[in-house]
Amino acid sequence: MEFISVLWNYILPFLVLFTLLVFVHEMGHYSVARRNGVRVEIFSIGFGPELFGRDDRWGTRWKFCAIPLGGYVKMFGDADAASRPGEAVQRLTPEQRKVSFYHKSVGQRAAIVFAGPAVNYLFAVLILALLFMTAGQRHTPAVVGAVIPGGAAESAGLRTGDTIVQFAGRNIDRFEEVEQVALLHPGQALRIVVRRDNAERAFRLTPEPRTVRDKHGNTEVYGVLGAVRMVAPVVGRVLENSAAAEAGLMNGDRIVAIDGRPVSTFQEVRTVVMAGPEKRLRLRILRDGRSVGLTVVPKIYSYRDGAGVARTIGRIGIGVAPPPMKRHGPLAAFWAAVGETWSLTVISATAIGQMFTGKRELRDIGGPLRIAEMSGDMAQIGIYAFVWFMAAISLSLCLINLLPVPMLDGGHLLYYGIEAIRGKPLGEKAQEFGFRIGMALVLGLMVVVTWNDLLRLFGAHGS
């Protein structure tokens, strides 16, 4: 039964996500190759032995292979996996050269190679646009609902009611964007601009590093803002066997007062509850338009903060209601998706850059097992989270493939750029040397991510 659960909850969502994204990527190469008159011999999803396939009327073999961890398009005249000419290419007839990849202009070859990552990017935009048209876009105003005592926001000088207009050089429209920026910059001093009393003020804010462990035992270090969005005190969920469940709180209840004192934000509720473990609290709530009185006793919860200091707080076991969603029409959804994709691009590019500069550890890089875990987790949360994750992975595939590393699309584009400037390709020895370096880098990365996955799988990443 456990195997069936893993298969259904993790392996199947991963295969759906990865197969679709690989198909989209390779379809980009295929479509532009065909448009430029190149004969495509093989369109493969996966590597290794063929499981099944068929030949179309243009002579392309479409097939699924046994190892579903990638795919490729083999074009006529693309001599080998490194896209370098071989002796066979030099002996092609004039008719064959018309449909040969190698004999196309440098601009055509660059367009064919660039099309794969470009379609991954466009796919991310399109599925987000569809999401924003149907389910809507999370849209919480960038207003500080509360400042956590002792947190990064308080240390920087932020106050409740501040409207954040810029953070780390990025214009801000939604609170979700603020959280995204903080997330990727733990321990880094960032410029933040807020609007307060009709005037803009600038501060330096350093997101607090916070180590988070997920249910699979994986640990990640994120930046914490130390401030929360303006959230109404509406109960979004009630945990089983919690103090709230025992008191009779229900989803949709709006807490309007605690011990006779009015509350207007969820953070006010949280502050009172955290400060009163095992203290009887009298709640006044609105339920279906009726005023109801309840008594709840927060349970004791002990933990260690980021500095390792033991702390004890009260908990009643409720969560906030989902953030407000804003549905868009087709055109507005498209432009919202473009903006969201650009935000994800900045986040992904920042993360990749941090890997190269040492600001993010190599152990943070995940491989297929990590992606499978996250695919399953997102699928279990719901279709919204899964589609969002798919867009993020599609975008990551685009950016990684565009890195100027031989063996990747970006490496080919680098060579084509040099060829366009020189008027002729690099010498065969120079290309071979570059491809060997590229292969070493790609294989090294594969070893690192596989090792990280195995460490996560067997819980060797420590406490």
What pLDDT score does 346 carry? Answer: 79
Domains of the chain (ranges, CATH numbers): 2-132+377-457 (no CATH), 144-228 (2.30.42.10), 235-320 (2.30.42.10)
What pLDDT score does 201 carry? Answer: 95
pLDDT by residue for the chain (463 residues), tens digit each?
Answer: 566 776 677 788 888 888 899 999 999 999 999 999 999 999 999 889 999 999 999 889 999 999 887 889 999 877 543 444 555 666 778 888 888 888 899 999 999 999 999 999 999 999 999 999 999 988 888 999 888 888 899 999 999 889 999 999 889 988 988 988 898 888 899 999 999 999 999 999 999 988 766 555 556 678 889 888 888 889 988 998 999 999 999 999 999 999 999 998 888 898 899 988 889 999 999 999 899 999 999 999 887 765 667 788 999 999 887 777 889 999 999 999 998 898 888 777 877 777 777 666 666 666 677 777 788 888 888 888 899 899 999 998 999 899 888 888 999 999 999 999 988 888 778 877 887 887 787 777 777 666 666 665 555 444 3
State pLDDT tens for residues 12-26.
888 888 889 999 999
Tell me which DSSP letter residue 143 carries. Answer: B
User: Measured between alpha carbons, how far is 101 from 96 in angstroms, rounded to an integer?
Assistant: 10
Query: What residues have CB less than 8 Å from 432, skipping those under 6 apart?
Result: 82, 84
User: Measured between alpha carbons, how far is 62 from 69 in angstroms, rounded to an integer?
Assistant: 16
* Strands 208-213 and 219-224, bridge-based pairing: antiparallel
Place of tokens 């070493």: 440
Q: Is 211 helix (H, G, I), strand (E, B) or coil?
A: strand
Cβ distance 126 to 132 under 8 Å?
no
Strands (E), 21-115: 40-55, 61-75
Dihedrals phi, psi of 184, to nearest 5 degrees: -90, 0
Place of tokens 């896209």: 83
Cβ distance 26 to 123 under 8 Å?
no
Selecting among 26, 177, 179, 373, the annotated active-site residue is 26
CA neighbor of 154 nearest in space, from 226, 204, 230, 223: 226
Q: Which residues pair with 64 in a beta bridge?
A: 45, 52
What pLDDT score does 306 carry? Answer: 54
User: Measured between alpha carbons, how far is 454 from 463 in angstroms, rounded to an integer?
Assistant: 16
Q: No. of H helices and E strands in the chain?
A: 14, 20
* Cα-trace Rg, the chain: 27
User: Measured between alpha carbons, how far is 251 from 232 in angstroms, rounded to an integer?
Assistant: 13
Helices (H), 43-195: 87-90, 94-98, 106-134, 152-156, 175-183
Q: Is 223 exposed, middle or buried (0-12, 13-18, 19+ CB in 10 A)?
A: buried
Active site residue 95: no
User: Measured between alpha carbons, how far is 130 from 330 in angstroms, rounded to an integer?
Assistant: 8
Place of tokens 């190149």: 38
What pLDDT score does 361 carry? Answer: 65
Structure tokens at 270: 């949280």
Structure tokens at 421: 């400037």
What pLDDT score does 462 carry? Answer: 42
Cβ distance 428 to 84 under 8 Å?
yes
